């Protein structure tokens, strides 16, 4: 049984087919990197997994529980969608931290609300976990800073901690370093690499080819809404089988 099974996913926006027929699966502890040019559908795929977009057809299943089935309208209810989202975490390209909360408060907000909904008591575990996560990110001394007081790299690391606080099954990254200066990219990639080393299950959409090759187990190359090639990270990036993959990567090797 795979942790995640995506079958024949399709997504259209109006007349444009953004995802034509996407199928892949992943195991627990695996790190998949998705590469491809803009418009290939990589971001839409991530957004479908996180239920920010509703696919037009196909199936998404986590641990054999069907989260989405295009042919079964039962999977569309709002309250259910909320519950299903919690299988996934998403780190955005533009961080999307909540400006009115400190770094620590950003991390604690969703867990606290979830706890309240379950009518459970908060015995300070959420704060403890938040501080632990900030420590993992190397930001212990920034707990009480507001997002506007943090650099881009620091903000993104807080965003990663915020996503981890809910312990998602699969952590998704949507071009996590694309909005950062090259100097700040390193600190974020370091953190993601550490997470991968600790076998955090993750899907990373990125343009950092060297990073994808070194940190991911599997690389998926998407083009025009289809998966053109997928396989071992080193093999796909250094020795791609498909012509289109070769063309795409050639652009990165200058």
Partner 1 sequence: MFATVTLSLLMGFLSTLKLFILTLVFALPLGLAISLGTMSKVAILKYPLKFIIWIVRGTPLLLQLLIIYYGPGILLRNNVWGSSDSGRFIAALVAFAVNYACYFAEIYRGGIQSIPVGQYEAGQVLGMTKGQIFRKVVLLQVIKRIVPPMSNEIITLVKDTSLARVIAVYEIIWNGQAFIKSAGIIWPLFYTGAFYLIFSGLLTVLFNRLEKKLSYFR
Kindly tell me which of 162 and 213 has the beta carbon lying closer to partner 1: 162
Nearer to partner 1, 100 or 123 (CB): 100
Minimum distance, C-beta of residue 80 to partner 1, in the bound complex (Å): 12
Query: What residues make contact with partner 1 under the rule CB under 8 A?
Result: 50-52, 82-83, 85-86, 88-90, 92, 94, 96-101, 109-110, 113-114, 146-148, 162-163, 166
Q: State in angstroms the smallest separation of the CB of 58 from partner 1.
A: 20
**Least distance from C-beta 221 to partner 1, angstroms?**
25
Which residue's CB is nearer to partner 1, number 23 or number 77?
77
CB of 180 to partner 1, least distance (A): 16
CA distances from 32 to 11, 99, 187 (A): 21, 31, 20
Nearer to partner 1, 164 or 228 (CB): 164
Q: How far is the CB of 153 from partner 1 (least distance, A)?
A: 18
Cβ distance to partner 1 smaller for residue 86 or 250: 86
């Amino acid at each position: 049984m795979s942790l995640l099974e995506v079958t024949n996913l399709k997504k259209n926006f109006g007349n444009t087919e953004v995802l034509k027929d996407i199928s892949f699966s992943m195991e627990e502890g695996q790190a998949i990197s998705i590469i491809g040019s803009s418009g290939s559908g990589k971001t839409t795929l991530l957004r479908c997994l996180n239920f920010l977009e509703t696919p037009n057809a196909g199936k998404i299943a986590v641990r054999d529980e069907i989260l989405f089935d295009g042919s079964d309208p039962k999977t569309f209810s709002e309250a259910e969608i909320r519950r299903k989202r919690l299988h996934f975490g998403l780190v955005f390209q533009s961080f999307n931290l909540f400006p009115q909360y400190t770094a620590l408060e950003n991390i604690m907000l969703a867990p606290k609300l979830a706890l309240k909904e379950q009518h459970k008591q908060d015995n300070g575990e959420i704060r403890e976990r938040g501080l632990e996560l900030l420590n993992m990110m190397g930001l212990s001394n920034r707990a009480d800073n507001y997002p506007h007081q943090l650099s881009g790299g620091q903000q993104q690391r807080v965003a990663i901690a915020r996503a981890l606080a809910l312990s998602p099954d699969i952590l998704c990254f949507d071009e996590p370093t694309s909005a950062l200066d090259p100097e700040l990219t390193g600190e974020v990639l370091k953190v993601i690499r550490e997470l991968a080393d600790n076998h955090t299950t993750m899907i990373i959409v990125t343009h950092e080819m060297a990073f994808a090759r070194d940190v991911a187990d599997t690389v998926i190359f998407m083009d025009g809404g289809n998966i053109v090639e997928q396989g071992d990270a080193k093999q796909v990036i250094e020795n791609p089988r498909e012509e289109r993959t070769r063309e795409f990567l050639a652009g990165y090797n200058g």
